[in-house]
Structure 1
Amino acid sequence: MVYIRDLALPDFPLLLAPMEDVSDPPFRAVCKQGGADLMYTEFVSSEGLIRDAAKSKKKLDVFDYERPIGIQLFGSDVQTMAECAKISTVAGPDLIDINYGCPVKQVACRGAGAALLRDIPKMVQMTEAVVKATRLPVTVKTRLGWDDSTRNVEEVAERLQDIGIEALTIHGRTRVQMYKGEADWTLIAKIKENPRIRIPIFGNGDIDSPEKAMEYKNRYGVDGIMIGRASIGYPWIFREIKHYLATGEKLAPPTLEERVGACQMHFEKSIEWKGPKVGIFEMRRHYAHYFKGLVGAKQWRTQLVEANTPDEVRAILATIAQSEAVLAD
């Protein structure tokens, strides 16, 4: 077992990454069914939460079927982050996570996310304030550093552990790299090997197949891995990795019935949580991923994107399920 304080996870847990505009409750539902062991909300703006912004408050929605689930916060003001940790605690998650890794300009250029990698004292101060503001375990997600000349994650790991975080997830790129190039896990391995480090260390970046998960598990010795983009439209990545780690054999890819079933579940959860209008609109970004590689996928995607009512979408999905589509060569 892997423990985040008293929260018990299975050996080598698979975590679902907090992805903005992706990791909402409907998406998390299909990933939980697919085998994710620990999931996180989309990141929640501390400034938005303090202002009582509807979008930020909505992101605090967590459900029992998702557990264990963490709420992820980001912000640039120490006191505001502490207050938001208190608000988030009331929402009832299993842990609070702090985002020190988001590289996008709208976040980093406002002094939040990966920007804190350029101000380690403030990062420590902010983390300590959040730890003191909640009774829940606090975890952190970050990157190797701001750029190649400031890869300071080893210092970050020790200092944040010393002031009370319970687990650390590290994305194997710098902020400057964004999502380009290959993720470098060598520093992640060094942190895991550090005798001072006693908290779980999770690796993130480029895990998109069972084979790579096995390779990185063995090579870098992390306690578990976090999966992001590879799970979009393919929640089966979690079960495939687990099966491969346990048996050394690859599972067959999901059937057409499974693809349609997951898409249907995602759609129904989406309109239930967001309402029909927004639910239909926001599902449109997911259809191409669910049916990627199938003969006829472009035609289906076009029909689904043009559908304007829940019954239209349901009818199209039913038609797809009854087809004899196969994977393209």
Structure 2
Amino acid sequence: MIRLDDYQGTSAELAEFITSTWRKSYEGKMTFPLWSAEYFEWQLRWKNPHFRRNLIAIYDDARLVATLLGSEYPFRCGQEIVPGSIWSWMTIDPVYRGRGFAKLLNEERIRRMQDRKIDLVVSYRYFGSKSSLAERPHRNSGDNTAKFHNKVGFWVRVLNPQGVCDWSLSSAAAWGARLTSPWAPLPKLGKEEKYIRKATPADIPQCLELIHEKTNSLPFAIHWDQESLSNQLLGSPLSTTLVYEREEKIEGFINFHLLTSFSKCEGQMGLLDVMSTQRLSSHKSLYLMYAVMQEMLNQGAILTLKLRSGDEDLLLMLRSYFAPRAPESHLVLQWIGQEREVPKNAKMHLLWR
């Protein structure tokens, strides 16, 4: 019997279901992430019972056949703080596709968000490959609450050109990685090294002040609090945060996490999530970025990505040899409660999930 329910299994079982289903759908056709139990425990705040209602599953008797997962974040929309959430990982067993499960999952999500008085769902639809099963604007599910707001892409910086060549399905991307070889090596940090270190729990209040200073002027941004920022910066071995500190004052920080991705083979990507460098000089911010990329290399990353949403320091990205990649995803804003106006192509601070 088919039933909707909270997800009932372990994080390892969830990762196995989603990753194995994505492999069946995409292996040999397009690049896709390999989600891990550790990743879900971190991003879905697994140990907090409050958030388990954001793990929606469909079962056929005891068999898991579909999932839709989310995590709650408040958003600053203009001068208003709006209760919101970020959702992803809609996964349907191939045997059960074509039976309206995507619609069922979305309707259940809306109902649960209404119960919690959550006004907004943020999500993405990947269109960078014709093999992607993501919803497209021209074949919308009929849900009038979901608005395809704009298209977003990434900044990309190759860290290990040979590693990218060996990993990439795309011959053009592999050729491009070879061309970046002269710019791939990272300079030594020199005298700046003594000011750069890994973040600790004691740094969270200063980091929170910095990220609020950066994002409060943006039209649309995640509104971090101490708990959510602490989880993002320090909540998992997958996440690393480097701070630039002088005279016991943190002047900037950059946070990233590692994500395994499958193309021709497995490869590690470093995803830049939260950055605040506005108080640093261009020289200091550049060397903080160099330190971050060196840490990524030390952890096995072959390239690094940053969502191109307008919150980045353009000069820093260009001086660090990041290249803007064409948009490959739709940003979807789904207003469950009162709809607020978010300008098209407004500068935003978001997480890609």
User: TM-score, normalised on structure 2?
Assistant: 0.26
Structure showing the higher strand proportion among its residues: 2
User: TM-score, normalised on structure 1?
Assistant: 0.28
Structure showing the higher helix proportion among its residues: 1
